Structure 1
Amino acid sequence: MADTASISARDIRAAVERNTGLRARDLAETIGVSEGELVAAKIGHGTVAISAHPDDIMGAVPALGEVMALTRTPSVVHEKVGTYGNYQSGAHAAMVLHDAIDLRIFPKHWVFAYAVETVTEAGPRRSIQVFDAAGDAVHKIHLRDASHHDQWATLIETLALPEQNDRPTVEPRVPPSPAQERPDRAEDLRKAWSEMTDTHQFMQLTKRLKMNRLGAYRVAGAPFVRRLDQTAVDTLLDRLASTAVPVMIFVGNHGCIQIHSGPVHTLKQVGPWNNVMDPGFNLHLRSDHIAEVYEVRKPTKRGEALSVEAFDKDGVIILQIFGMRTKDADHVADFGALVQGLAGAEVQA
């Protein structure tokens, strides 16, 4: 990101006042600052800088009761209503496995965090907002009417930083890595793929073969991967809505992955956005950002893991939709029947 030090916090607040109709992310881009800088500029005006470490945040937010968890990228927004709990700490990766809120957290990217309160005619709107080193949003927690608002002041008192800096120093955004393909290692990839017993082994084997996820998908071929038409995700969501087959929908950035487990019911198209609008779960997908889609099959000890995965033009993964398997029921076969009929891509990369 370009040097924005010449823009003062007062300038940023004035721009916010002039552009109340714009979303924070869009306004930040218009001003030429990161969203994190935009939020920080309101310190002392309803915003408080708090500890960004997930151990601290996840230790405090269960007291808020029912909230909305939000994780997003420029291409997709994933929102779940529930309560935080069953937090499992980790130096490199942590988890929340509670109620409807299911997260995988990567602490090194939780760099800035703020408790944000905005006064409206309907009452105060409150949220916890976490940003990475570049000031890009990693995870947000929005209080709802049913939340325990009486715990808000205690949370701030517990987490507030001694230094309240309304112009934090952000780092340049790290550009995404393009697909890393090694066609010369195709046979090694297929052999290692066939020997997997857990999906978590996939990233280890691609790293060993000097590929990344998209590069490996382009190289592997049948029976592990089938490239699908760019419209496949929209078609699949339509089929899921009409059948109520339970799935797991993963959306993440480099700091947080958020997962929905269950059916999809209500779809609504608004401009370029394809929206899931269900009680407790909303998904907002820029379908026009999808450049490549793959049907992916990975062997595991519990049976085949089947997913449909979409990538943008820069090779960044947008979302993954998996067949759902629980201790009580296996819906992978039902999901597979919906996936089987998806159109393949006419041109293979």
Structure 2
Amino acid sequence: MNLLHPKKDKLVEAEEKRRDLGFGTQINDPDTRLLNRDGSFNVKREGGGFWSELNIFNRLVVCSWGRFFELIASFYLVLNLIFAGIYEIVGIENLQGADMTSVRSRLMDAFFFSSQTLTTVGYGRIAPIGFWASTVAAVESLLGLLIFALATSLLYGRFSRPVAHILYSDKAIISPYLDVTGFMFRIVNERANQLIDLQVEVAMSILEKQPNGKLLRRYYGLDLERSKVNFFPTNWTIVHPITQTSPMFGLGKEDLVKLDAEFLILIKATEDTFNQTVHSRTSYHSREIVAGAKFSPMFSDKEGAGVVTLDLTKISDIQEVSLSSEYVPTVKEVEIGKQSDFFIG
């Protein structure tokens, strides 16, 4: 199926066929998603080096806080168990002050002496005597200094790394827009920090059948009603008008599903706390599109409150509407839209 508008000349047509977002054109499995909803790439690398695959620093910086503390606690526990075993091999009797009345008490004292040595606390009840016990304690204390320096830098790196916490609506919709229809989704800043100079790019990926019967992945950039806003204090409904020049023109949801259409979104903004550029990305598969709907308002009705109240739980609320193209905005709606163009979407 040729989705290109017939009025486009051959040069424009050839350029659109060459367009690529970095995924290539050979990913032609209809069940394969390019970009997961959480923004991660749906790509698994194999055959790389062990340390390249492990990539400890990156994994510890980008993983969730729960996962981070779980890994730190597990490492701390395992390391102390290893050194407790070493003290057992060297001889716990070489730890002066250790309770030798039972195996359990011996191992407990060895474990807690290890934790005190690793953190350089050293309460003084237990002390190493002899060459080997003192050597193991000295090595462990040095290792502890290095490990906790790394853990502290990781913790600082996680706190100081600016991240765009943008919430996306669960579904994208095809809704009446002016006198046509539009592909839409909604976003909102989840955090209290401020994002400025937001820019959004949306591309549609489809599987096109070639004359030889082979499926080839194509990418089409979608023109937006507004691709940039200066401020982002509330929500922003991002709209692609489905006009005759749109690659979505004439396609219903069933057609998009058959073409394995996926809509890839990239958002760039400046985070004003650190004055650094942050990114957010996600995608909507054609199965995650609702045709014939509109988003419900997110503003809470609190008259006289003197402040704009935005209910983030309503970001995915939609209402069923007709997809007829008879909708024309009133003069009042047009004036409101013009006034808000500079501030929000």
TM-score greater than 0.5 by the shorter chain = no
User: Structure 1 or 2: larger helix share?
Assistant: 2
Please give the TM-score of this superposition, normalised by the length of structure 2.
0.22
Structure with max Cα Rg: 2
Please give the TM-score of this superposition, normalised by the length of structure 1.
0.22
User: Structure 1 or 2: larger strand share?
Assistant: 1
